[in-house]
């Protein structure tokens, strides 16, 4: 920027100098022209003055000659003529001097014009040369700046080219690696294809070689399949027969259970009748008047009542899954056949029981509980047992059929 400002300032100065020189040159030209005109005018004026002087001399000589002739009667013509001739010679010399002055003025004007032209051309050439020098200097500066810019650009281009070269080298390495990888994959594929072709050829040869063997094996397998189908039909028939047999067995069991139920109901009715008779007998004994044996019988009754209370407290709900369920007894009944008998009656009965030894059975409480549970839940238990027996029979039949099918399937897999 400083160089540009300096160059602009020098350009302005040079332009002002040129304008000043042109103005001075025009002033010098105008002054020279005026001077030459003044010199010409002076020369012309002198010539005119000399002409007028010569004319006036001639007139004066003529007038003097006329006056001499008039007053003297004689005139001196020779002296006048000699003066006139000398005046004419002077005049001729003056004319010649005038022409020479004109020539000298013309030569001066020509020399001054030449000098001015030369100086103007010199100044012009110097200004042109100065302009050329300035222009060359400017061009040099511009070229220097352009060279610096080009150097910077070239350096940037060099850096960019180096970076591009590095990136291209990286890309080329990657491309080379990819090409090597692709070539490797291609070679592997070609090798695999060749192996596949060989394996296909071998398989075709093996297929062609083993077609007859496969046909024979297929025939054998078909025969085995026929035999297996026959076995399967036979096993299905057997399973159907087993199912029918199980169904018949279930029907027989159901009939037997119904018969047993009826028998148990009859037995329970008989037990109820016997118990009612025992209870009636006990009630008759209780209705007798009190005697001395009553205090001794209070303890067994209290025991019986406490036993009934304990049985009532300890029995669970009949809705549970306990077997046998609890049974509630009336408070005025004893749990034993000799619970509240008098001592005189109870002792012979005890003695008879000692003499006749009956087989040991469950107590009256347990017997009554079993009876009540059987009476209350006989039908659902019977139905449940029948269903369980049928399910067990069906599971046994299904297990036999599955085992037969698995055996036939295993034999089929072996084939």
Q: Is there a contact between 267 and 375 (Cβ–Cβ < 8 Å)?
A: no
Measured N-to-C along each axis, helices 378-414 and 77-286 cross at an angle, to the nearest 10 degrees, of 130
Please indicate, yes or no, if residue 279 is contained in any of the structural domains.
yes
Domain end: 136, 165, 194, which one? 165
Domain end: 165, 186, 220, which one? 165
Please indicate, yes or no, if residue 91 is contained in any of the structural domains.
yes
Q: Are residues 46 and 124 in the same domain?
A: yes
Residue 308 pLDDT class (50, 70, 90 cuts): very low
Please indicate, yes or no, if residue 82 is contained in any of the structural domains.
yes
Please indicate, yes or no, if residue 394 is contained in any of the structural domains.
yes
Residue 107 and residue 120: Cα distance in Å, rounded?
19
- How many domains does the chain contain in total? 2
| Domain range for 355 | 231-286+309-414
Residue 251's pLDDT is what?
92
Residue 252's pLDDT is what?
93
Residue 159 and residue 56: Cα distance in Å, rounded?
104
Please indicate, yes or no, if residue 376 is contained in any of the structural domains.
yes
Q: Are residues 260 and 132 in the same domain?
A: no
Cis amide linkage into residue 369, ω under 30° from 0: no
Mean pLDDT of 128-137: 82
Within 10 angstroms of residue 291's Cβ, the number of other Cβ atoms is 12
Q: Are residues 390 and 252 in the same domain?
A: yes
Please indicate, yes or no, if residue 21 is contained in any of the structural domains.
yes
Residue 28 and residue 41: Cα distance in Å, rounded?
19
Torsion angle of the four alpha carbons 165, 166, 170, 175, in this order, in degrees rounded to the nearest 10: 0
In this predicted model, what pLDDT tens digit does every residue of 229-271 receive, in sequence order? 999 898 999 999 999 999 999 999 999 999 999 999 999 998 9
Residue 386 and residue 249: Cα distance in Å, rounded?
10
329 pLDDT above the threshold of 70: no
More confident residue, 68 or 364: 68
Q: Are residues 101 and 249 in the same domain?
A: no
Q: Are residues 86 and 235 in the same domain?
A: no
Q: Are residues 12 and 125 in the same domain?
A: yes
Based on C-alpha coordinates, what's the Rg of the chain?
A: 86
Q: Are residues 127 and 266 in the same domain?
A: no
Q: Are residues 235 and 161 in the same domain?
A: no
Measured between its terminal Cα atoms, the distance across the chain in Å is 105
Please indicate, yes or no, if residue 198 is contained in any of the structural domains.
no
Question: What's the mean per-residue pLDDT of the chain?
Answer: 72
Q: Are residues 368 and 250 in the same domain?
A: yes
CA-wise closest residue to 283 among 329, 326, 218, 341 = 341
In this predicted model, what pLDDT tens digit does every residue of 155-183 receive, in sequence order? 998 999 899 899 889 888 999 899 999 99
pTM comes to 0.30
Residue 157 and residue 151: Cα distance in Å, rounded?
9
Domain end: 165, 188, 217, which one? 165
In this predicted model, what pLDDT tens digit does every residue of 35-59 receive, in sequence order? 778 877 887 888 788 888 878 877 8
Residue 321's pLDDT is what?
41
Residue 72 pLDDT class (50, 70, 90 cuts): low
Residue 65 pLDDT class (50, 70, 90 cuts): confident
Q: Are residues 246 and 394 in the same domain?
A: yes
Helix-, strand-, coil-residue percentages of the chain, each rounded to 5: 90, 0, 10
Q: Are residues 265 and 403 in the same domain?
A: yes
In this predicted model, what pLDDT tens digit does every residue of 268-301 receive, in sequence order? 998 999 889 888 888 888 886 555 444 444 433 4
Please indicate, yes or no, if residue 151 is contained in any of the structural domains.
yes
Q: Are residues 123 and 253 in the same domain?
A: no
Q: Could you tell me the sign of the dihedral formed by the alpha carbons of 383, 389, 395, 397, in that order?
A: negative
């Amino acid at each position: 920027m400083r160089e540009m400002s300096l160059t602009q300032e020098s350009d302005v100065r040079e332009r002002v100098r040129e304008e000043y020189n042109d103005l001075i040159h025009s002033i010098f030209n105008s002054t020279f022209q005026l001077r030459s005109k003044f010199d010409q005018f002076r020369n012309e004026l002198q010539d005119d003055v000399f002409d007028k002087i010569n004319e006036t001399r001639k007139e004066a000589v003529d007038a003097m000659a006329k006056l001499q002739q008039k007053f003297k009667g004689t005139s001196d013509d020779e002296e006048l003529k000699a003066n006139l001739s000398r005046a004419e010679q002077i005049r001729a010399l003056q004319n010649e001097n005038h022409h020479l002055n004109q020539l000298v003025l013309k030569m001066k004007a020509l020399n001054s014009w030449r000098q001015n032209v030369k100086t103007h051309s010199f100044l012009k050439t110097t200004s042109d040369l100065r302009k050329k020098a300035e222009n060359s200097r400017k061009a040099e500066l511009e070229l220097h700046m352009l060279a610096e810019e080009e150097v910077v650009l070239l350096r940037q281009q060099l850096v960019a080219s180096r970076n591009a070269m590095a990136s291209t080298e990286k890309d080329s390495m990657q491309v080379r690696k990819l090409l090597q990888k692709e070539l490797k994959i291609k070679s592997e594929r070609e090798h695999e294809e060749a192996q596949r072709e060989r394996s296909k050829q071998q398989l075709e040869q093996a297929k062609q070689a083993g077609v007859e063997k496969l046909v024979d094996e297929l025939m054998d397998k078909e025969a085995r399949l026929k035999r297996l189908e026959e076995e399967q039909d036979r096993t299905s028939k057997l399973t159907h027969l087993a199912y029918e047999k199980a169904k018949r067995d279930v029907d027989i069991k159901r009939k037997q259970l119904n018969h047993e139920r009826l028998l148990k109901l009859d037995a329970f009715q008989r037990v109820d009748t016997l118990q009612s008779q025992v209870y009636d007998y006990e009630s008759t004994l209780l209705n007798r008047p009190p005697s001395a044996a009553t205090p001794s019988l209070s303890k067994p009754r209290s025991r019986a009542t406490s036993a009934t209370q304990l049985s009532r407290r300890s029995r669970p709900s009949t809705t549970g899954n306990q077997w046998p369920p609890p049974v509630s007894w009336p408070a005025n009944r004893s749990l034993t056949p000799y619970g509240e008998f008098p001592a005189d009656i109870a002792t012979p009965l005890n003695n008879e029981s000692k003499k006749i030894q009956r087989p040991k059975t469950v107590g009256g409480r347990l017997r009554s509980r079993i009876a009540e549970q059987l009476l209350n839940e006989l039908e659902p238990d019977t139905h449940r047992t029948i269903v369980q027996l049928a399910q067990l029979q069906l599971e046994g039949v299904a297990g036999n059929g599955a085992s037969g099918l698995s055996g036939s399937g295993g034999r089929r897999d072996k084939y």
